[in-house]
Every structure is written in C-alpha cells, then in structure tokens.
C-alpha cells in the first residue's frame, strides 16, 4: 500500500484533527505504517520532539495515534499568534521570525511550498500512507493563490480529499455543497466526498439528505460519525477556548477521598499549552475550569497561571482584572498557586523583555524570587528530572531565561510556601509526581482529597485514541476510505458551478 488522503473541513473546528487521528489509529491497527501531516498549523498549543523541534500538539497527538515518533516533517510550518495581526513563524521546528498576516500571505507562504512538499515526499518514502490535515476551509477563495495546506498540497501530491462537516453547528449540507462549488475545476477533481461529524439522533432521518447531496454533487458521504463526549484532545488553538463556564474533564468519576479538588486556570491572553491541565482533569475528583474574574479564585483549591505567548500582556491583564491582587492574597494565606512557563514568569519579581513585547523592564507579581530576561534564541528541550521525590518528564518552549534567586528548587524553577513555578510543560503527565503534587495541594487547601492510586494519564490518552479509531472503524465506510488512500480520487467527478477561477 502506498498513498494518502487530505482531511479538509467546511470550517475551523469541524473535526479535522480528531478525524485525522482516528484514521491514523484505524490504519495502525490494520498494520499499515502511517504518518500524519499538516503543512501549516496556526496554534498556541505546541510540543517539542525528541530532536528538539517545535510542532503543533495536534500533530504530536496524531503521531501517537499512528504509533510513530513525532517529527518536524509532520508539521513543517507552525504559526504562533502574538496578536490579531502577527505571528511567530516556526519553520522545521525552529523560529525564524515574526511576520504580519499580510506579509505571510503576500509571498512568504507560497515560497514555503517547496519545503512542505519536500517534507511530504520524505514521509511518503518512509511510510505506507500519509494522512494530511487541512486548515480552516479549502474554500477560502481569498487565500487560494498562496495556499499550501489545503488544495495546494492536495494538488501537489495528487491526494484525494474528504471534507468533514460539523452537523452539530447546523447547515452542514449547504456547507458541503458550497465548499465544493467554490473550488476551481482542477481542485474539485480531487474532492472525493464528505464525512459528517458530531451527529446526534437517528441516522435514518439524515439519509434522504445524504442521497440528495450525492445527487447534487456526484460525491459520496463516507460516514456519519456520532457525537462523543471527551474526544477534544489536544485542540489546536487556545484562542478559541470558551472562557465562561469552560470545564475540561477527561473522566467523570467520584473522588477517591472525601472531597473534590477545585482547580481554577487563569484564562490569560494568548494562552498557550492549556493542555497542561488535562492531566489534572483526568484525576477522579478534580474539577478544572477556566476563569477570568478575581472572585472565581475564591473557592479554588489550586490556581494555575498557564503558559502564554504574551507574558507582559498577560501580566497587565491579571492586574487590570484584579486577579493579580487575588493571587497575592492567596500566596500570603498559603493557598496553592502554580505558574507554568509564561505563568511562572509573571509570578517572578522582574521581567526584562526586549524580544516578545519589547516592553523593556517590567515588574512582576513578586510571588517568587525570580528575575526573567527574554533571549532571542528560543529554548526548546525535553528535560527529565525529579521533584517531590518523583521522576518527572516535561518539555520547554520559551524565550524567557529565569534567574532563580531563592526558594526551594522545583524542577527548573522554585517554590516558596504554596507557590510553585516552572518552565516545564507536561510535568503533570508524570503520574507519581502528579499524585504527590495534588497531595500537597490538598493538604495546603485543607481538603480531604486523596489522589486515586492507579490513574495513568498515558493509558487514558491511549483509550481516547482508541475511541477515535473506533469512531472511524464503526461509523465510516472504511473500505471506501482505503480505496481512496490507495488509488486516489475517482475519475470523472462532476464539476459543480460556479467554481472559482483557476
């Protein structure tokens, strides 16, 4: 077997990431050597590969679904937003500079096409199949000329395209038809059909619409995937997290001890790697929510200040909303606070930033004896260490260099009383360390919470990935998908007017 597929979507968040992961897990179960690929990803949730390359967390998750080691080849271009109009461009795992959206789409993006095609070719030479994920919608006609992630890469590789639509949002038939009808004739030739995502109810009621869609487009629907809770693993973009009442729980289970433990995550601007708290939410009896008001910290047993792509901006935001004062009161009262990466930096005494915000000297919250200086070179690492008597693995992605001037050592940061700070992302995925940490938090918070002795975050992640594989295997036409991957789009697919100019 040798081939591939592009999973496109009618919109952002249509389900491309999880469908791609599900197809990867399904193929891996069949003994197919498969790799994920996303030419260009815009995300603040990223990961560091073993060779020290930064890629989107979604692609790292998809690699795990495929049971292969993630690499920069799987996500050669990563855009990390620094505001509404500019992003840091990460090329082959290393940052190469900041660029405005106009500058990127005005020429730089097209210049990267050779790079992304080269990466895809290398993956195709190594694996039996490559499952590509698109970005946004392939029918963004204003961006088609410079597209390298949707139809641009499909045309370059001659890959068939399956379009995923989220029926839970409504309008899925119009979205399917309109997506195809806004593509040029050459692009339409590669769009083989559709996948309905997040369906609730009786599929037989949907079937007349699917028959009509086939009559209108000449294309099949390759499956209707049912709505499933708990499948939103490793989302691409923290900017789209709903802040009001957002709760992330991987498992619904009663507490192992007498009390639950409440975790409040400060939803700072440009929040990055908010997936760090998934391991907390996986613990029975731990309730995690994102907050943006000072009063929402009052009943929290632990407050997490997460990573951010804008440390100085996040610091100002915390002060404007009264959250900075609330954090200071917590520290004075001995109530637990954890700062991760950018969150660790804001808890320090002083920040010198001539790189990220170019704000120069800024005073931090002063809760930890740490001074931070932003370096032009980004630290990308996969450290291993020990904390609270347990082995810890993590990964680092930051420009800020911390000088720790006191406190108790804590990973690469420090601890003062009930305030902890570290640059290490992913540390809470180390099960024994997480249990020891939550035990300390419960003691400081006065809660009779006891961590479950057998929670394995890695096992829970595997269960979620298996559920994605089950979705594809049970609800998609896998024989038809396999034919697409092996032989490409069927010949003679009809053109849908009006189409876009070539």
CA distance 34 to 491: 25
460 by DSSP, 3-state: which?
helix
For residues 36 and 20, the answer to whether their CB atoms sit within 8 Å is yes
Across the chain, what does the average pLDDT equal?
A: 92
**Is the pLDDT confidence value at 478 over 70?**
yes
For residues 297 and 265, the answer to whether their CB atoms sit within 8 Å is no
For residues 59 and 70, the answer to whether their CB atoms sit within 8 Å is yes
DSSP for 403-451, please give it: EE-SSEEETTEEEETTEEEES-BTGGGSHHHHHHHHHHHHHHHT-----
Q: What is the pLDDT of residue 82?
A: 85
CA distance 375 to 423: 14
Task: Label residue 373 by pLDDT band (50, 70, 90).
Answer: very high
Distances (CA, A) of 301 to 101, 241, 282: 41, 22, 16
Q: What is the pLDDT of residue 231?
A: 64
Q: What is the pLDDT of residue 332?
A: 96
CA distance 185 to 495: 6
Q: What is the pLDDT of residue 99?
A: 81
DSSP for 99-159, please give it: EEHHHIIIIIHHHTHHHHHHHHHHHHHHSSEEEEE--S-TT-TTTGGG-SSSHHHHHHHT-
CA distance 168 to 152: 28
Out of 24, 341, 398, 414, the active site residue is 341
Cβ-based burial of 211 (10 A; exposed 0-12, middle 13-18, buried ≥19): exposed
pLDDT tens-digit map of 34-55 = 999 999 999 999 999 999 999 9
Q: Would you give the DSSP letter of residue 203?
A: G
Q: Is 414 a known active-site residue?
A: no
Task: Label residue 206 by pLDDT band (50, 70, 90).
Answer: very high
Domains and CATH numbers, the chain: 3-232+462-487 (3.40.50.300), 261-451 (3.40.50.880)
For residues 370 and 413, the answer to whether their CB atoms sit within 8 Å is yes
Q: What is the pLDDT of residue 268?
A: 96
The four Cα atoms 133, 74, 234, 392 give a dihedral, to 10 degrees, of 170
Task: Label residue 154 by pLDDT band (50, 70, 90).
Answer: very high
Distances (CA, A) of 364 to 342, 454, 481: 11, 39, 53
Q: Is 399 a known active-site residue?
A: no
CA distance 55 to 418: 33
DSSP-assigned beta bridge partners for residue 380: 397
CA distance 346 to 356: 14
Rounded mean pLDDT, 355-368: 94
The four Cα atoms 360, 361, 366, 371 give a dihedral, to 10 degrees, of 80
pLDDT tens-digit map of 255-304 = 888 899 999 999 999 999 988 999 999 999 999 999 999 999 999 999 99
Prediction pTM value: 0.93
**Is the pLDDT confidence value at 485 over 70?**
yes
Cβ neighbour number for residue 128 with a 10 Å cutoff: 17
Distances (CA, A) of 84 to 87, 250, 271: 9, 31, 14
Which of 164-178, 181-195, 238-252 is least confident? 238-252
DSSP for 209-270, please give it: HHHHHHHHHS-EEEEEEEP-TT---S-S-GGG---TT-B--S-----SSSS-EEEEEE--TT
**Tokens representing residue 222 in the block:** 């390759």
**Is the pLDDT confidence value at 241 over 60?**
no
Q: What is the pLDDT of residue 85?
A: 76
Which of 82-91, 113-122, 222-231, 243-252 is least confident? 243-252
Task: Label residue 246 by pLDDT band (50, 70, 90).
Answer: very low
Rounded mean pLDDT, 74-103: 88
299 by DSSP, 3-state: which?
coil
CA distance 291 to 438: 20
490 by DSSP, 3-state: which?
coil
Task: Label residue 106 by pLDDT band (50, 70, 90).
Answer: low
DSSP-assigned beta bridge partners for residue 421: 339, 414
DSSP for 13-52, please give it: TSSHHHHHHHHHHHHHHTT--EEEE-SEEE-S-EEE-TTS
**Tokens representing residue 184 in the block:** 């040029």
**Tokens representing residue 405 in the block:** 């001037």
Q: What is the pLDDT of residue 232?
A: 57
Out of 398, 399, 423, 425, the active site residue is 425
């Amino acid at each position: 077997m040798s081939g591939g597929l592009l999973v496109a979507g009618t919109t952002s968040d249509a389900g491309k990431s999880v469908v791609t992961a599900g197809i990867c897990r399904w193929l891996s179960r069949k003994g197919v050597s498969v790799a994920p690929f996303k030419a260009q990803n815009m995300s603040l949730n990223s990961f560091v590969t073993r060779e020290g390359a930064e890629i989107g967390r979604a692609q790292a998750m998809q690699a795990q679904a495929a049971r292969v080691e993630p690499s920069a080849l799987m996500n050669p271009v990563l855009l990390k937003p620094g505001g509404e109009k500019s992003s840091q461009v990460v090329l082959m795992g290393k940052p190469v500079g900041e660029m405005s959206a106009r500058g990127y789409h005005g020429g730089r993006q097209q210049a990267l096409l050779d790079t992304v095609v080269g990466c895809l070719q290398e993956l195709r030479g190594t694996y039996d199949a490559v499952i590509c994920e698109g970005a946004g919608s392939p029918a963004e006609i204003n961006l088609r000329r410079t597209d390298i992630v949707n139809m641009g890469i499909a045309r370059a590789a001659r890959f068939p395209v399956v379009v995923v639509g989220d029926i839970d949002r409504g309008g899925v038939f119009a979205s399917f038809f309109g997506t195809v009808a806004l593509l040029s004739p050459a692009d339409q030739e590669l769009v083989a059909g559709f996948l309905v995502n997040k369906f609730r109810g009786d599929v037989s009621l949907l079937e007349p619409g699917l028959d009509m869609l086939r009559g209108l487009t000449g294309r099949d629907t390759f499956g209707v995937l049912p709505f499933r809770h708990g499948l939103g693993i490793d989302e691409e973009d923290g900017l789209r997290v709903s802040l009001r009442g957002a709760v992330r729980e991987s498992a619904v289970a009663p507490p192992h001890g007498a009390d639950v433990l409440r975790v409040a995550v400060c939803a700072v601007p440009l929040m990055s790697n908010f997936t760090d708290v998934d391991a907390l939410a996986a613990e029975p009896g731990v309730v995690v929510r994102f907050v943006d008001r000072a009063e929402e910290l009052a009943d929290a047993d632990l407050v997490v200040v997460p990573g951010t792509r804008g440390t100085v901006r996040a610091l100002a935001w915390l002060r404007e909303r009264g959250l900075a004062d609330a954090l200071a009161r917590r520290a004075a009262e001995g109530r637990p606070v954890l700062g991760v990466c950018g969150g660790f930096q804001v808890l320090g005494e002083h920040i010198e930033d001539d790189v990220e915000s170019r704000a120069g000297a800024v005073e931090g919250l002063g809760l930890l004896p740490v001074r931070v200086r932003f370096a032009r070179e980004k630290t990308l690492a996969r450290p291993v260490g020990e904390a609270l008597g347990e082995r810890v693995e993590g990964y680092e992605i930051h420009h800020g260099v911390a000088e720790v001037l006191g406190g108790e050592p804590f990973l690469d940061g420090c601890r003062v009383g009930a305030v902890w700070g570290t640059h290490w992302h992913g540390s809470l995925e180390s099960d024994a360390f997480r249990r020891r940490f939550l035990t300390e938090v419960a003691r400081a918070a006065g809660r009779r919470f006891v961590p479950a002795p057998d929670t394995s975050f890695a096992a829970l992640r595997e269960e979620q990935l298996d559920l994605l594989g089950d979705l594809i295997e049970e609800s998609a036409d896998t024989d038809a998908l396999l034919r697409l991957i092996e032989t490409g789009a069927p010949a003679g697919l009809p053109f849908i007017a009006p189409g876009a100019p070539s």
